[in-house]
A = this chain, B = another copy of it.
C-alpha cells in the first residue's frame, strides 16, 4: 500500500486534524500536501458530515444535518509541475472504509448510512413525495452491505469517491458564482433552494487565516454540485481500477477528494445518498502536458471505469416518462422521467411489504442502474431504472402467484420535517 500523505485521526474532528482539509472550492486554498508525477499515495477521507450522523435508530440527525459543513475534503494535493492546460491522470488504486476500524461512532467504522433529506434541509429527488427525513444504517461485511432498516437485501457495494476534482481558476470560480447567483435570484426564497451560495459559516479552508481566510470564505464555491472541475459528480462507476483525466486550471492542479460511498445507485437519489462513509483512497497521479488542447477536454473529466465492479446478470426494470404525477405533460424532461421510473419501482416494492421509504433508501444505496432510454420522442423522455434481482432474499419478479410478503422489521427511522 502506498505512503499515507493525508492522515486523519478518527478520534478528532475534521478541523482539528494535523493536516486540515477544506470544504469550499477556491484557487487560493494552499496545497495541504505535494506529490510528484508518477507517485502513488494514500489519503484518508472523512465522511461528508464529519461524524454528525450516528449509528442509531433516529433520523433527527439527518433532519438537522448542517449543510454548511460539507463536504469534508482531503486536499488540496499539489502535483509538481502540473500547469493549466494539462490533463491530470488520476488512477484509483484502491478505496474502502477505514482499515482496521471495525466499529466506532464514525461512519466508515464498519458501517455507513443513507439519508433522505427533509424538504426543509435541501430535500431529495422525490421531495414532494417524501418531505420528511429518513435514515438507514448499513453494516459492512467485506464488500457486502445489509441493513436492519431495510431487511431482505444484501448487495456487493460499488465503492467509489463521490467527490474528486481539481481546483478552479479564479476566472472559473467567478463564472460559477455568477451563474449560480443568477439562478438563485429567480426564486430566492424557494424551499428547497435552487442552489447554495458561498457561505462563510463553518468554512474550513486548510491553513488559511485572517483576511485571506475571510476573502476565500466569502468567495469559495460550495461543494454540493459537480462542475467543470469534476467535484461532486457522484458517479458510482469511479471504482477501483478507474483512470480519470481531469482538466487542470491552476498550477499544481490541486486535487481534492472526499465523500466516499460504500455503494450508491445511479443518481444518488436520496441526496444524503449512496452509503456515506469515511475511509481511505489510494491514488496515483500523472500529467499529460497540454492534454486539454490535444484531446479537446476543456472541462469535465473523462474516465475509463475499472473492471471489477459487482456483476449482476438479472435485472427488474421500471420505466417512466415526463408526465407529472398530477398528469401534466412536460416537454422532454429526463429528470422527471427518472423520478417517475423510481416512483414506479418504489410502488412496486411496497407490494412485497416494504414501506415506501425503505424502498427509496434501497434505491439510493444499492448498485441500481439508471438510464436515459429515450430523450427525443416528443414530448416524452423515457427513463429506466434497473434493480439487480439477486440482491433480494426472495423472488422479486411478477409471477402468476402473489408477491411474497417480507417482514419489514423496525422500518426506517423518520423525523418530521
Q: Say yes or no: A102 contacts B235, CB within 8 Å.
A: no
Instruction: A168 to B234: give the CA distance in the assembly, Å.
Output: 39
Instruction: A375 to B313: give the CA distance in the assembly, Å.
Output: 25
Confirm or deny: A296 has a beta carbon within 8 angstroms of a beta carbon on chain B.
Answer: yes
Q: Say yes or no: B267 contacts A329, CB within 8 Å.
A: no
Q: What would 18 A/B residue contacts be, using CB atoms closer than 8 Å?
A: A93-B142, A94-B142, A94-B143, A125-B376, A180-B379, A225-B379, A234-B373, A237-B373, A300-B319, A304-B315, A307-B313, A312-B313, A313-B390, A314-B390, A333-B333, A335-B381, A370-B371, A370-B375
Q: Say yes or no: A237 contacts B384, CB within 8 Å.
A: yes
Confirm or deny: A224 has a beta carbon within 8 angstroms of a beta carbon on chain B.
Answer: yes
Proximity bits, A388-417, B CB within 8 Å = 1, else 0 = 011000000111101100000000000000
Q: Which residues of B contact A212 (CB under 8 A)?
A: none
Q: How many identical chains are in the complex?
A: 4
Proximity bits, A275-309, B CB within 8 Å = 1, else 0 = 00000001010001001001111011111111111
Instruction: A40 to B144: give the CA distance in the assembly, Å.
Output: 13
Q: Which residues of B contact A384 (CB under 8 A)?
A: 235, 237
Q: How many residues of A contact B (CB 8 A)?
A: 129
Q: Which residues of A contact B (CB under 8 A)?
A: 1-4, 40, 87, 91-94, 97-102, 122, 124-125, 141-144, 156, 175, 179-180, 182-183, 192-196, 224-227, 232-237, 240-241, 243, 245, 266-271, 273, 282, 284, 288, 291, 294-297, 299-321, 323, 327-335, 338, 340-341, 344, 347-348, 350-351, 369-384, 386, 389-390, 397-400, 402-403
Q: Say yes or no: B102 contacts A2, CB within 8 Å.
A: yes
Instruction: A320 to B230: give the CA distance in the assembly, Å.
Output: 9
The residue from B271, B300, B307 contacting A314, defined by CB atoms under 8 A apart:
B307
Q: Say yes or no: B294 contacts A317, CB within 8 Å.
A: no
Q: Say yes or no: A378 contacts B335, CB within 8 Å.
A: no
Q: Say yes or no: B227 contacts A380, CB within 8 Å.
A: yes
Q: Say yes or no: A319 contacts B348, CB within 8 Å.
A: no
The residue from B100, B295, B327 contacting A1, defined by CB atoms under 8 A apart:
B100
A289 to chain B, nearest CB (A): 8
Q: Which residues of B contact A232 (CB under 8 A)?
A: 374, 377
Listed from nearest, the 5 A-B pairs whose CB atoms lie closest are A93-B142, A234-B374, A225-B380, A370-B372, A179-B329
The residue from B4, B193, B305, B397 contacting A315, defined by CB atoms under 8 A apart:
B305
Considering residues A245, A320, A348, A375, which has the most beta carbons from chain B within 10 angstroms of its beta carbon?
Answer: A375
